[in-house]
Amino acid sequence: MQENMAKTFSISLLSLCLLLHSFLANCTIITPPLVPALYIFGDSLVDSGNNNQFPTSAKVNYLPYGIDFPNGPTGRFTNGKTSLDFIANFLGLPFIPPYNGLSIAEKGKTITGINYASASAGILRESGTYLNLSPNGLVMQGRNVPLGVQIESFKETINLYLPQNFQTNDDLSQHLSDSIFAVVIGGNDYINNYLMPTKYNSSHLYDPNKFAGILLQEFTQHLKNIYNLGARKFLVYNLSPIGCIPAMVQLRNVTHGCADDINDIAAPYNVGFPGMLEELRNSLPGSTFVQADIKSSFFLDHRPFRDGIIDSNPCCLTDNETHQCLKDVPPCTDRFRHVFWDAIHPTQTVNSLLSIGCFFSHLICTPMNVLDLALL
């Protein structure tokens, strides 16, 4: 009964969100900031341009990416805003700038948050770093900023740049403890590591349960490192059903539905994910960990998606190797109806739905939503 009520509510919420989407995607909500800053760690789901200068194919500072973003192409892997762009907006904060896009002077003046996320990066240092030349000479994958190095950049921020804006160490500590730290990562440890047996040996060495345990153990230490640098409020995302993304469906030559074997491979990670966060809550004094449950997000498994109200095909024409949009090729015009922008990443529509559900409701984000987290 409770599950049916939750599903009914989520479908109603989806309908409401679709009505609000156009408004949310094209406006800025101006309020006094609910938190001093939002610090972002992760991969291409939330990267805002950190890979733009790297020798890698995992960068998208070209059209049609950003076609619906106020500033055009920035390096965001979608047509408009990421989910954390919306979250920042709801918090009353400006767009969070990419660390690698800031000058030293700008780093010293930025106090509303920094984005350290890097496309193709993973929890494991090696994920997404394989080198391969495509027929046109493009480096496939290559350089990224793995989570551990992103945290080192954050450490540099609090040692060299943030202190310029605070009179005392206590003021800086208060800034950090009141800020929100969002972490969106893990997909590339499967898509650009475990599921590439000719590039990586992880699938030869570990079964899915063992590999998930390694990832969660490593992730636990990374989150502890962020905590030890002063963070107290965490928003951490689990994995989406990666077997349902077009690139993985194509990889398995599935003609209808998802690549279920890939979802099964990644399932142990999501099973162990809540326990990891609970262990951190219990062991780190003063910490609050909110789980964003992308796995069960209503837009993937409920009736509007199944009935074709939302299209599951990529909105843009994609490259078969990078799975990214072909440069300067016009995308679909009904972007509002699409789950996927390219063969891996969601559209702005999906990002807005996820952020609304996570910020205002308790269906996606638990044990509290982001608004509750901000008001702690």
Q: Give 306's pLDDT tier (boundaries 50, 70, 90).
A: very low
pLDDT tens digits, one per residue of 34-64: 999 999 999 999 999 999 999 899 999 999 9
Least confident of 275-279, 300-304, 349-353, 367-371: 300-304
Task: Say what the pLDDT of residue 14 is.
Answer: 43
Give CA–CA dist 132/162, Å, rounded.
Answer: 39
Evaluate whether 339 touches 305 at the Cβ level (below 8 Å): yes
Give CA–CA dist 324/346, Å, rounded.
Answer: 12
Bridge partners of 318? 325
pLDDT at 8 over 50: no
What whole-number percentage of the chain has pLDDT above 70? 85
Residues 6+ apart with CB under 8 A from 224: 280, 284
Give CA–CA dist 37/110, Å, rounded.
Answer: 10
pLDDT tens digits, one per residue of 323-332: 999 999 999 9
Evaluate whether 116 touches 40 at the Cβ level (below 8 Å): yes
Task: Say what the pLDDT of residue 266 is.
Answer: 97
Task: Say what the pLDDT of residue 47 is.
Answer: 98
Task: Say what the pLDDT of residue 363 is.
Answer: 84
What whole-number percentage of the chain has pLDDT above 90? 77
Q: Give 19's pLDDT tier (boundaries 50, 70, 90).
A: very low
Over residues 223-235, the mean pLDDT reads 98
CA-CA-CA-CA dihedral for 55, 58, 61, 62, to nearest 10? 110
Task: Say what the pLDDT of residue 257 is.
Answer: 85
Domain span including residue 275: 2-375
Task: Say what the pLDDT of residue 307 is.
Answer: 46
Question: What is the rounded end-to-end Cα distance, in angstroms, of the chain?
Answer: 32
263 three-class SS: helix
Task: Say what the pLDDT of residue 31 is.
Answer: 66
Q: Residue 37 carries which side chain, given as an amino acid letter?
A: A
Evaluate whether 204 touches 194 at the Cβ level (below 8 Å): no
pLDDT at 30 over 90: no
pLDDT tens digits, one per residue of 93-140: 999 999 999 999 999 999 999 999 999 999 999 999 987 655 555 555
More confident: 243 or 301: 243
Nearest residue to 60 (alpha-carbon basis) of 43, 71, 44: 44
Least confident of 210-224, 267-281, 304-318: 304-318
For 58, list phi and psi in degrees, rounded to 5.
Answer: -85, 65
Q: What is the total count of domains within the chain?
A: 1
For 67, list phi and psi in degrees, rounded to 5.
Answer: -60, -25
Which structure tokens are listed for 43?
């991969």
Task: Say what the pLDDT of residue 311 is.
Answer: 80
* Mean pLDDT value across the chain: 89
- Residues with active-site annotation: 44, 342, 345
Q: Give 22's pLDDT tier (boundaries 50, 70, 90).
A: very low
- Give the CATH number, domain containing residue 81: 3.40.50.1110
Give CA–CA dist 209/271, Å, rounded.
Answer: 10
